[in-house]
Structure 1
Amino acid sequence: MNGRPIAILGGTFDPVHNGHLRVAWEAAETLDAQVRLMPAHVPPHKPAPLATATQRVDMLERALAGQPRLVVDTRELRREGASYTVDTLRGLRAEFGEAQPLVLLVGADAFGSLPTWREWRQLFRLAHIVMLTRPGRTEPWSGELIGEAVPRRARSPRELQAVPAGKVLSIPVTPLDISASQVRALLAAGREPRWLVPEALLADPAILAPYRRKG
């Protein structure tokens, strides 16, 4: 047994919302893992964030206060250029060693697009990949993804603690129909996104200022 995994959940978190937090918490409990929420500097597959890196980190730190199983990891913000996952995993592997179980958390749609990611096959060598699934939703896999992923399928989260990388597991998560774009639209319209974002973000009017309409 190698021990408790370290899992990463990447994204722009522009802003972080309750859907992000629920998924991260369920993954932490199911995998018995520490989950690191990792804001991207320059996301390769998404538009640039509206909030600055400092503002997004501040929102995450407020949202995660008092939850030791969920932590903020700013390594991608400290790295110049696009935030490629393979580079992030190499950095984590160098920091925590070859024996530490690492887990990349991805949604089902992102998992299906893995062959478009930089050095995507290396991801399986560097970490386990856990697909976060929602009831009633399936995503098609390409032949090359099937060939890489199916032989690696794990039957239970326990298998991810026994080896440092290379397994693929699906875990169901509670579908909270919340999106960052929805939160930004509400704020731009002068409305409050209560129950969609953590209360800590609503407690200080300045925190969500990047998304409010100016003037």
Structure 2
Amino acid sequence: MLGGTFNPVHLAHLRSAIELKETLGLDEVRMVPCHVPPHRDEPQTPAHQRLEMLSLALEGVPGVIADDRELRRDGPSFSLDTLKSFRGELDKDDSLIMAIGEDAFSKLDRWRAPEALFELAHVVVIARPDHGLDVPAGLSDFLAARRAHSAEALSGPSGRWLALSLASPMAISSTDIRARLRRGQDIRYLVPEVVRHYVERHGLYL
């Protein structure tokens, strides 16, 4: 599970999904657009358009899937509820991984029932060029006992976390893309061409 607002989805999101799948030997990666973010303002771009852009970007990409389950739920899109939904579709011994960036990980102690996440899944923390690995103080002892130091250590269905540097880190952000569009600047090569055309056709982020 790789969640986010994807507002809009960009090349760093997509490359991370592919490299997660390859590096960890995953059967598939589900990219899950957030409907109502619990920890930030709700995106002005409607959820169905963010999903459409993500689906267009993933056409023909094997094993990486746009998943709309959070868009089908009312209320805040808590990761705990999403992991419960995924876990209900798996065998009890299947491994489930939630991938998040270092910026989100540093605020994990503010999430809803963060300890319960580890009862459902492993957590992989993706290194970002514009951030660093900050272990949230409120969970330091809890996380210290659960840290893994290799992908092989993520055995079993859940319970560990791993800091992971991917091969192609990209300092691209949706915030910057939206700002460029408001300034009338070109976003070519920051997003897939199909997403750029969608944004232009629908007049998004102006």
Whether the TM-score (by the shorter chain) exceeds 0.5 is yes
Moved more, 20-29 or 127-136: 127-136
**Corresponding position: 1:169 with 2:155:** no
Q: Which amino acid aligns with 1:140?
A: D
Q: Which amino acid aligns with 1:70?
A: V
Query: Which whole-Å deviations, capped at 9, do the CAs of 1:119-167 have from their partners, x for residues lacking one?
Result: 110011110011111469534324442211122222321232x300011
Report the TM-score when normalising by structure 1: 0.87
Partner of 2:175: 181
Give the 4+ runs in structure 1 shifted more than 6 A.
none
**Corresponding position: 1:77 with 2:71:** yes
Report the TM-score when normalising by structure 2: 0.91
Partner of 2:48: 54
Query: Which whole-Å deviations, capped at 9, do the CAs of 1:53-95 have from their partners, x for residues lacking one?
Result: 1111110011111112211111001000000011111111112
> Aligned partners of 1:120 and 1:114: how far apart in 2?
6
> Aligned partners of 1:47 and 1:79: how far apart in 2?
18
Q: Which amino acid aligns with 1:64?
A: L
Q: Which amino acid aligns with 1:108?
A: E
Partner of 2:15: 22
Aligned 8 A contact 1:201 1:207 in 2: no
Shift of 1:109: 2.1
Distance change >3 Å, CA 158–CA 59, structure 1 → 2:
same
Shift of 1:36: 1.0
Q: Which amino acid aligns with 1:127?
A: A
Q: 1:110 aligns with which of 80, 101, 104?
A: 104
What number of residue pairs does the alignment pair up? 204
Shift of 1:204: 4.5
RMSD: 1.8
Aligned 8 A contact 2:97 2:121 in 1: yes
**Corresponding position: 1:121 with 2:115:** yes
Q: Which amino acid aligns with 1:181?
A: T
Aligned 8 A contact 2:149 2:163 in 1: no
Aligned 8 A contact 1:202 1:208 in 2: no
SS in 2 for 1:76: helix
Moved more, 146-155 or 32-41: 146-155
* Consecutive unaligned residues in structure 2, runs of 5 or more: none
SS in 2 for 1:191: coil
Alignment of 1:91-106 (within 5 A): 91-106=85-100
**Corresponding position: 1:145 with 2:139:** yes
Shift of 1:190: 2.4
Shift of 1:172: 0.2
Aligned 8 A contact 1:59 1:207 in 2: no
Q: Which amino acid aligns with 1:102?
A: L
Partner of 2:189: 195
